[in-house]
Chain A
Amino acid sequence: MINLQHIERYYRAGLAKNWVLRDVSIEIQEGEFVTIMGPSGSGKSTLLNIIGMLDTPDRGGYEFLDEPVHKFKERRRTELHKHYIGFVFQAYHLIDELTVYENIETPLLYRKIKGSERKAMVANILDEFNIVAKKDLFPHQLSGGQQQLVGVARAIIGKPKLLLADEPTGNLHSSQGEMIMDLFKQLHTDGMTILQVTHSEKNAKYGTRVIEIEDGYIRKDYAPTDG
């Protein structure tokens, strides 16, 4: 599904280059639940952004579903991620001015899904996530865990093939974190490909594969013990 070949990413600081990713090659199959780990500044978020097509590598090739993303213009990339990728962020990034319902509905609007169908989809997921009672609240009226729940609901409502999560539990209490991770596990069981970035060993154990990154290089790539 994802095929990264010799990806490099750097920032210019004067004449010098600050390397973020160096010669990263990864292949990820559909149905995997991959955890990217590493210390702060190791490049894991950048890797996630490149895979999510929010960022572009300076060098190297990226094929997503056998399409050469690195050759695409922005418009086509937007199309790709609109249809196949969902995002979950550490800081939730809900739109403050929209209610829970409207936040979840927004990706469907961009996919031009009809009103009645949209309503049904949102109602379903609200039900599934047990947040029907909260649908008319605004993000600031929710707890962190509830906001992230909405964030996940919004990410998967369009039935993406790939879910990208950047420290999804980073701002949450441990009990709320567990709830989110259980949710991910359930999604994975239902067949979704998931790629998460985390510091937490505990969270990594929910997945099927761990990639450790340090100073821009891939150091280790292994299956977690008792996953």
Chain B
Amino acid sequence: MIWNYLRIAYRNARKNKVIAGINIFGLALGVAACMLIATYVLHETSYDSWVPENDRIFRMYAAYKQDGEILKGTHFSANTAITVNQDFDEVMAAGRFMDNELFDGAGENNIRWDGDQNQHREDGFSYADQELITMLGVPMVYGENATALASPKTIVLSKSKSEKYFGKTNPIGKTLYLNSNDEDPYTISGVMEDFPSNSHLNYDFLITLTDVEFGEGEQTRWFQNNYFTYVQLKPNVDYTALEERVSRRIVGDYMAPAFVEAGYQQPGELERTLDLKLQPLANIHLHSGEISDTYTRGDIRFVWLFSIVGGLILLIAGINFINLSTARSANRAKEVGMRKVLGSHRKELIGQFLSESVLITLVAFVVGAALAQAVLPFFNQMVDQELVLPLASPLFLAVLIASALLVGLLAGGYPALYLSRFKPITVFSGGRSEGSGSSKLRSGLVVFQFAISIVLIAFTLVAHRQFNFMLDREVGYDRQQVIQLSSTDVLGDQVTTYRDEIQKISGVAAASISDYLPLSDTKRNGNTFYSEGKTEADNGTAGQAWVVDRFYLETLGLELVEGRNFPDQIPEGQNYTIVNEEMVSKLGLESPIGKKIQRGDRKDEIIGVVKDFEYFLYSDDKTYPLALFPGISSTLMSVKVDGQNIAQTLAALEETWDAFGAKMNFEYSFMDESFAQMYAQVERVRTLFSGFAILAIFIACLGLFALSAFMVERRQKEMSIRKVLGASGQNLFGLLTRQFLILNLIALLIGIPIAIYFMREWLQDYSHRIAISWDVFAIAAMIGLAFTLATISYHALRTVFANPMDSLRDE
């Protein structure tokens, strides 16, 4: 019996190639999109699940109340981990990462292997505790996970870095020098597997923290916060209850007394403003939006966004399926009638139609899987991942088949119920073969499709504008024609000479030495500033203290609103600073020039106020208090060039570089590109979203195309008669398209408010955002109408130009 059904299904498909093609192809596109999205979503939600006991491992973070806001940070003092481990039985182990670039060895380094003359630039260094790699169960290629970082001066590298330098050989025992520091060698004690792509960590070099102290007392001081702290709990510990006790104990018994003793806080202050929290390891990737750490991470909102878009695409494809099936009902009515006469129960007919739709869906899923596999490389490029479709996994196949069945049953369900209801007597006596109910439903579904399309178009437009706005807006500095040279610290004392030398090159307008730049991933620090003499009276303000040279403002095009730049020579005994407007306002300074600001014991005179510029402190782009201090921070150099002949200028820069005998390759980057890079995630989301939106609209148009073919076919005779009676081509075209245009307008009315709502919500997340203007909807409506007209015109025009006698003759 089932073969009989399938045979019919196959022959029907062959007979109506276009319809079957649209059904299968549309659904396959939807399935492919869904598969890619699902793979992406699964990857995003699988972060850190590779860690064996991830449900018992937590990252600590601090929630700090300031100015009515809660700031969340993940940096703790060195002794936090040790103390938590000692004081709480529930804690099985605690371990730390330290990747703050302020300390030699962390972040980026120039490295040299024993026996190699050349320096190499490598990123991805972090200090780490032995406890941490044990806790995370980091798999090792060479060496023991349990002891690799136990001894002082050891380093573990990733498999890919090991292979880069040592090929397939075991490098354990080899010696490594960091930053030309040849008296201070490190020994390779292990090679770990690269952190998987679904890990929130991405270090290539782990230096042991055993016996490390960054300055005297650093390991025991409570207010020098540079460590990411992770704890592993014993089984069956309620972490929310524990975190409260940890918070009370650590803040109340250790931190607060230390802060009061150092004069940083009034008694009771810290207990009121600071809470320590535990964040489950698996939540770090997607649920850290407000937590400031240095990791690039995912965003649960994007996961939701894409899941919804994936669902909508499948829904649109499913609606096509329903609409085409019921529209075709006239052609199937006779068969239904006859089968009933031959003794078929309704149940059997429902079974027949369902097996037909399941068959089509299965084919569509197979085609869809192939499509997904084919576009996977492009998709990976877009999401910056190396996702793999688990096509060989039995579970994946099972889910695939189950979804095909489900989609087939859902999309085929209504048509099956509808078609199987035909009564033979009505069918054979040539009565109405199509219930008005089904055409109402069809109209409703078409409106729904249109509405989704309009929302997606509008959303795509707004996202596009928002993104352009973010990239092009005024940020307070000029990033055009600024080049960053990296590793300039290899020049040593010569770095200032090099700077002065290249300023003589004709294409160079200015050059400045500083590691502190308004780009993410450049140096940052944390300080508390007070206005002079008010250390007792208020809490001060958190701010950045950047070391820059006197060409900094000129090179980056920063604007002085008051005062002057740093002089060539700072007079003996004078401490100068230039602060930003935010600092002035946070400290409540009136006429700030000449006033002094204080941090620790140090007092600096404000000689200038620079206009606020955005500098990416956290992953947001707000402006925070900032003070510039004269000095040399020598890893990066920024060069402002004029627009003429940049290639020639770069060549001259490199020539000078080589003339200085630098032991590194000349490396540079353009600041505007680095800036755009910071928005890579936003850019990716935008591209992906536009892609999926276009796909959704395309699938909807496919359905519309086929549906219009039916509608036109049904009215062929009517149109022919009208034509014979003298109707013009325009008349007929209007008649044929009017119905769809009306549906389009209804969809517009429904879609626009929904679009407005979601766009508002979405834009809320951006501190710099565009206003939603009405032309977005005008454009979305135009696009929607244009697509609709273009799609249905094909069939409508064919009818308009057809010879009326062709359809009237055989009557």
Interface pair A106/B345, CB less than 8 Å apart = no
A110 touches B343 (CB 8 A): yes
* Contact across chains for B339 and A49 when beta carbons are under 8 A apart: no
**Residues of chain A lying within 8 A (CB to CB) of residue B4:** 98, 102, 105-106, 109
- A93 at the A/B interface (Cβ < 8 Å)? yes
A107 within 8 A of B: yes
Q: Known contacts being A54-B424, A81-B343, A154-B342, is A109 close to B1, with CB within 8 Å?
A: yes
Indicate if the CB atoms of A95 and B338 lie closer than 8 Å. yes
A89 touches B342 (CB 8 A): no
Is A87 in contact with B11, judged by CB distance below 8 angstroms? no
Count B interface residues, CB 8 Å: 24
Encoded as 1 (CB less than 8 Å from any B CB) or 0, chain A from 167 to 202 comes to: 000000000000000000000000000000000000
Complex CA gap A52/B341 in Å reads: 9
Asked if B432 is an interface residue, CB under 8 A from chain A, the answer is no
Q: Is A66 an interface residue (CB 8 A)?
A: no
**Beta-carbon contact of B7 and A89 below 8 Å:** no
Residues of B with C-beta under 8 A to A105: 4
Given known contacts A49-B425, A93-B334, is B8 in contact with A110 (CB within 8 Å)? no
A107 to B339, CA, bound (A): 8
Cβ B12 vs Cβ A89 within 8 A: no
Per DSSP, chain B at the interface is helix
A212 to B209 CA separation, bound complex (whole angstroms): 109
With most chain B CB atoms within 10 A of its CB, the pick from A83, A96, A105, A107 is A96
Determine if B344 is an interface residue (Cβ-Cβ < 8 Å).
Answer: yes
B11: which A residues are within 8 A, CB to CB?
97-98
A75 neighbours in B (Cβ, 8 Å): 345
Chain A interface residue count, Cβ-Cβ cutoff 8 angstroms: 28
B340 interface residue, CB < 8 Å from A? yes
Bound complex: CA A96 to CA B345 (Å): 20
Q: Does any Cβ of A come within 8 Å of B15's Cβ?
A: yes
Residues of B within 8 A of A110 (CB): 339, 342-345, 348
Question: Roughly how many angstroms separate A120 CA and B428 CA in the complex, as a whole number?
Answer: 31
Q: Smallest distance from the beta carbon of B342 to chain A beta carbons, Å?
A: 4
Complex: A18 Cα to B380 Cα, angstroms:
70
Distance, CA A87 to CA B341, complexed state (A): 7
Interface residues of A in 64-104 (CB under 8 A from B): 75, 78, 81-83, 87, 89, 91, 93-98, 102
Are B343 and A95 in contact (CB-based, < 8 A)? no
Judge whether B337 is part of the interface by a CB distance below 8 angstroms: yes
**Is B335 an interface residue when CB atoms closer than 8 A count as contact?**
yes
Q: Is the CB of A93 within 8 A of B339?
A: no
Evaluate contact between B7 and A102: CB separation under 8 angstroms. Answer: yes
Q: How far is the CB of A118 from chain B (nearest CB, A)?
A: 11
In the docked arrangement, what's the CA distance between A102 and B340, Å? 16
Give min CB distance, B8 to chain A, whole Å. Answer: 5
Q: Does A111 contact B (CB under 8 A)?
A: yes
Q: How far is the CB of B737 from chain A (nearest CB, A)?
A: 31
Residues of A within 8 A of B425 (CB): 49, 54-55
Mark out the residues of chain B between 320 and 356 whose CB falls within 8 Å of any chain A CB in the assembled complex: 334-335, 337-345, 348
Q: In residues 462-510 of chain B, which contact A (Cβ within 8 Å)?
A: none
Complex contacts, A89 vs chain B, CB 8 Å: 428
| Interface, chain B (partner A; CB < 8 A) | 1, 4, 7-8, 11-12, 15, 334-335, 337-345, 348, 423-425, 428-429
Q: List 13 A-B contacts (CB under 8 A).
A: A52-B341, A81-B341, A83-B343, A91-B428, A93-B428, A95-B8, A96-B335, A97-B8, A98-B8, A107-B342, A110-B342, A110-B344, A110-B348
3 closest residue pairs by CB, A with B: A82-B343, A110-B343, A97-B11
Q: Which residues of A does B touch, CB under 8 Å?
A: 45, 49, 52, 54-55, 75, 78, 81-83, 87, 89, 91, 93-98, 102, 105-107, 109-111, 154, 158
